[in-house]
Amino acid sequence: MNFQITSEQEYQAAYNKSVDQPEEFWNDIASNFHWREKWHTTLKWNFETPDVRWFDGAKLNITENCLDRHLEQRGNKIALIWEPNDPKERALRYTYRELYQNVNKMANILKNMGVKKGDRVCIYLPMIPELSFTVLACARIGAIHSVVFAGFSANSVADRINDSQCTVVVTSDGLNRGAKQIPVKSVVDEALEHCPSVEKVLVVDRLGWPVNIHTGRDFWYHEELKTVSDQCEPTIVEAEDPLFILYTSGSTGKPKGVVHSTAGYMVYAGYSFANVFQYKESDIYWCTADIGWITGHTYILYGPLLQGATSVMFEGVPTYPDPGRFWQVIDKHSVNIFYTAPTAIRSLMASGVDHVLAYSLHTLKTLGSVGEPINEEAWHWYHTHVGKGKCPVVDTWWQTETGGIMISALSGISELKPAHAGLPLPGIQPILVDGEGNEIQGNDVEGYLCIKFPWPSMIRTTYGDHERCRINYFATYKNLYFTGDGARREANGMYRIIGRVDDVINVSGHRFGTAEIENAINQNKKVIESAVIGYPHDIKGQGIYAYVILGDLEANNNNQTRDEIIESVVEHIGRIAKPDKIQFVSGLPKTRSGKIMRRILRKVAEGELSSLGDTSTLLDPTIVDEIIAGRLT
Ligand code: WTA
């Protein structure tokens, strides 16, 4: 690794170079990777169309960088430690050589199932080693993986499969979640009733459950394993060939498939991992995210493996068998770098500090936070009780669309300030703009967070609909990538992320569009109209508050109707998007042109009743009084 920054001066020098000579800056970093052919053009870009190309002309396979090139030096080093849901079950360890062999076998199985370069493979698996094998196996053969978090419903799976026309699905019989066991294959079966593109399904046996096997379509992984070799030549791809699709919610319509390219994503994943966490060769690193989200893609698999690191993958939940589970795993595997989400920290905080104090945690050097703003109280608890006051907490701001960490302290190098993501990584040029898109200069200012120059792992398109990508991210402000977040830049230039400024709710670090949840609620026949907003929630960051108009007024305040509405959301999106509060109303505050005044609904949900603003221009101002009277606290 020749690109690890080791001091504040080096950071400043690297940052300046990345702005003054961006191509040279990235050429140097990219030269640390293994290329079958070098690029002829470092960068070509246009944010209007948008069209961004990095390392054009290069040929590579990302798994050669994650696996093959480590075999000589690190063949016997542990690449992956898998910690099961049940602490009594044995943890599994895979060396780089074993991981390489498992990936090759999975790649050969996929090939036998007919998967070719450019084909889309839907991966709907829990956090078991086979999930990692499958992701990397797709990359090995140039197929595009689309991982769908195993908490999504059959409808959501079907939508995602159909949008990208996946031909193969990889899944499991069921999954463990704390004390519960949850079916998985049956969800796929239900989804596939509506997915004509899918030809084959591969099923991993996790629980020993019987499943429906559709002859000719479904195959057991353990049976197929017997038929394949552990050698598989990597398929060589072009720099801009897509590596994966990951669906994420936006402010409008159904989730969109964010497309990442191969070379740029690789370079940025490896670079950002090494620098933010200041990873050293012997470190044991653990990111608690699920590989179903971008954090798991970049910082459980690609980033760590690109650096030859040892990465822990955890099947379970923070509270099973008790709220000391994270800390027990840290001691068990001597974890040095730990990366988790504020929502987990807050929920463990609520369970009491005794669960933490029961463990030594002396191996920890660096702590990370991701997914939502971390409040100061949680930051201090994390720093004091988990990090014993000696581990830097890096608060990493980024998005599915950015592919990697954009704004964050570098562990042990940058100044830390609780609840502040800090300074941009070298190569990243954030700016704040006002509502008209004018850049807000200077410090101690607040505005919409945009990025004004391309970086290698940025979104390339939204699958099958490039115009949607343009409108969502590049049309709001001319020549800028718009993040959808608001931010403050403090006196010292550090950024503090305020949160989403669009109709996206961030629940426990998971993104949902309000329109998406409203759609699911409206599927219930009793519902005439609904409006969903986010409100501050002690543990989840944001909770989901739904205002619902029912056709049959008799059903008002009826708990059964409430349960049915929740059921609609579970069925159409998944259990992770359940509304926390459902208030039945006879109408919604609308302008004369029929637009719902969400600002008012938000204020009511937040309990800020004195600052509702002028309601006299509403179509029916009296509705506000009714909503206030029926407010759920
Ligand atoms: C929010 C997760 C404050 C933000 C990697 C962003 C954060 C959205 C932070 C992306 C942070 C993420 N501080 N807010 N450190 N990290 N966010 O796509 O609103 O699941 O736009 O990516 O999460 O969520 P996504």
Task: Say how far apart CA 509 and CA 290 lie, in whole Å.
Answer: 11
Residue at token pair 């006879």:
586
Among 233-242, 287-296, 605-614, the range scoring the smallest mean pLDDT is 605-614
Indicate if the pLDDT at residue 553 is higher than 80. Answer: no
Span 318-363, pLDDT tens digits:
999 999 999 999 999 999 999 999 999 999 999 999 999 999 999 9
For residue 421, how far is its CA from the centre of ligand 1 (angstroms)?
11
Indicate if the pLDDT at residue 412 is higher than 90. Answer: yes
The pLDDT of residue 558 is: 79
The pLDDT of residue 557 is: 62
For residue 399, how far is its CA from the centre of ligand 1 (angstroms)?
5
For residue 117, how far is its CA from the centre of ligand 1 (angstroms)?
32
**Listed residue (272, 269, 265, 268) closest to 244, CA to CA:** 265
For residue 499, how far is its CA from the centre of ligand 1 (angstroms)?
8
Indicate if the pLDDT at residue 263 is higher than 80. Answer: yes
CB 482 near ligand 1, within 6 Å: no
**What are the DSSP calls for 250-285, one per residue?**
-SSSS-EEEEEEHHHHHHHHHHHHHHHTT--TT-EE
The pLDDT of residue 594 is: 85
CB 373 near ligand 1, within 6 Å: yes
Indicate if the pLDDT at residue 554 is higher than 70. Answer: no
Task: Say how far apart CA 378 and CA 342 lie, in whole Å.
Answer: 7
The pLDDT of residue 389 is: 97
Q: Does domain 506-629 have CATH number 2.40.50.140?
A: no
For residue 610, how far is its CA from the centre of ligand 1 (angstroms)?
30
Mean predicted confidence (pLDDT) in 285-295 = 98
Q: Which atom of ligand 1 is nearest to the CA of 295?
A: 5
CB 172 near ligand 1, within 6 Å: no
Domain layout of the chain by residue ranges: 1-61+236-260+404-502, 88-231, 277-395, 506-629
Dihedral pair phi/psi, residue 575, rounded to 5°:
-65, -20
CB 534 near ligand 1, within 6 Å: no
CB 497 near ligand 1, within 6 Å: yes
For residue 383, how far is its CA from the centre of ligand 1 (angstroms)?
20
Task: Say how far apart CA 411 and CA 293 lie, in whole Å.
Answer: 23
Q: What are the residues whose beta carbons fall under 8 Å from the beta carbon of 559, sequence distance 6 or more? A: none
Q: Which atom of ligand 1 is nearest to the CA of 293?
A: 20
H/E/C letters for each residue in 41-89?
EEEEEECCCCEEEEEECCEECHHHHHCHHHHHHHCCCEEEEEECCCCCC
Q: Which amino acid is at 326?
A: F
Span 157-170, pLDDT tens digits:
999 999 999 999 99
Instruction: DSSP letter for 386, please.
Output: I
For residue 398, how far is its CA from the centre of ligand 1 (angstroms)?
5
**Count, residues in the chain:** 633
- List Cα–Cα distances, 78 to 271, 308, 313, in angstroms: 21, 9, 12
Helix 559-572 to helix 154-164 angle (10° resolution) is: 30
- List Cα–Cα distances, 60 to 3, 34, 236, 267, 270, in angstroms: 20, 7, 5, 12, 15
Q: What are the residues whose beta carbons fall under 8 Å from the beta carbon of 608, sequence distance 6 or more? A: none
Indicate if the pLDDT at residue 592 is higher than 90. Answer: no
- If you take atom 8 of ligand 1, which residue's CA is the nearest one? 399
**Listed residue (287, 288, 293) closest to 248, CA to CA:** 293
Greatest distance between any 2 Cα atoms in the chain = 74
Neighbours of 6 (CB within 10 A): 12
Task: Say how far apart CA 260 and CA 244 lie, in whole Å.
Answer: 6
Span 70-82, pLDDT tens digits:
999 999 999 999 9
CB 149 near ligand 1, within 6 Å: no
Task: Say how far apart CA 34 and CA 270 lie, in whole Å.
Answer: 12
Task: Say how far apart CA 621 and CA 132 lie, in whole Å.
Answer: 55
Span 21-38, pLDDT tens digits:
999 999 999 999 999 999
Mean predicted confidence (pLDDT) in 8-13 = 98
Class of domain 1-61+236-260+404-502: mainly beta
Task: Say how far apart CA 442 and CA 453 lie, in whole Å.
Answer: 19
Helix 514-522 to helix 559-572 angle (10° resolution) is: 120
Q: Specify which residues 147 forms β-bridges with.
A: 123
The pLDDT of residue 517 is: 96
- If you take atom 6 of ligand 1, which residue's CA is the nearest one? 399
277-395 shares the fold of 88-231: yes
Q: Strands 78-83 and 310-314: what pairing?
A: parallel
For residue 337, how far is its CA from the centre of ligand 1 (angstroms)?
20
Mean predicted confidence (pLDDT) in 384-408 = 98
Pair 309, 279: CB distance under 8 Å: yes
What is the CATH number assigned to the segment(s) 88-231? 3.40.50.980
Mean predicted confidence (pLDDT) in 482-500 = 96
- If you take atom 25 of ligand 1, which residue's CA is the nearest one? 399
Residue at token pair 């060589």:
236
Q: Whole-model pTM?
A: 0.96
Span 227-247, pLDDT tens digits:
999 999 999 999 999 999 999
The pLDDT of residue 593 is: 85
The pLDDT of residue 631 is: 94
Class of domain 277-395: alpha beta
- If you take atom 12 of ligand 1, which residue's CA is the nearest one? 371
**Listed residue (329, 321, 319) closest to 351, CA to CA:** 319
Task: Say how far apart CA 82 and CA 195 lie, in whole Å.
Answer: 32
Mean predicted confidence (pLDDT) in 147-153 = 97
Chain-wide mean pLDDT for the chain?
96
Q: Grade residue 613 by pLDDT with cuts at 50, 70 and 90.
A: confident
CB 506 near ligand 1, within 6 Å: yes
The pLDDT of residue 595 is: 87
Span 48-70, pLDDT tens digits:
999 999 999 999 999 999 999 99
Radius of gyration (C-alpha) of the chain in whole angstroms: 24
Span 206-223, pLDDT tens digits:
999 999 999 999 999 999
The pLDDT of residue 556 is: 61
- If you take atom 3 of ligand 1, which residue's CA is the nearest one? 373
For residue 397, how far is its CA from the centre of ligand 1 (angstroms)?
6
The pLDDT of residue 555 is: 61
